[in-house]
Amino acid sequence: MLEHQPTEKTKATVQQSSGLGLPQEQIAALIGISPKTLTKHYPIELALGKAMASAQVAKSLFNKATQGDTTAAIWWTKTQMGWSEKTQHEITGANAGPLVISLNNLDESA
């Protein structure tokens, strides 16, 4: 059996399919090879496709956020800036010291 030889056409197909989010099993089937052969011969195309698609989505999201899309701006601030709507409450004892609870002071009849 002859070893698979990547072509410009199969490289483009792998890169585009990876960017669209297709699983490697499906990408391999599209070009008629096994998933193992796919990862052996096309690691760059698999990585590039995913990275380029992510960059395009990130750019689109960034543009929406900077053009006034409130939902995009909120998502950006939470994921990229660490903002959160969580409120943290801290309970302390006297003079901001540690909270001390004595079991001796509990009413056992309650």
Q: Spell out the alpha helix ranges (H) of 67-103.
A: 70-80
Read off the pLDDT of residues 46-67 as tens digits, 9 standing for 90 and up: 999 999 999 999 999 999 999 9
| Residue linked to tokens 């004892």 | 93
pLDDT of the chain along its 110 residues, tens only? 789 999 999 999 999 999 999 999 999 999 999 999 999 999 999 999 999 999 999 999 999 999 999 999 999 999 999 998 887 888 888 888 888 877 776 665 55
For residue 74, what pLDDT is reported? 94
Query: Domain coordinates of the chain in residue numbers?
Result: 8-83
Rounded Cα distance between 84 and 88, Å, is: 11
How far, in Å, CA of 13 to CA of 3, rounded? 19
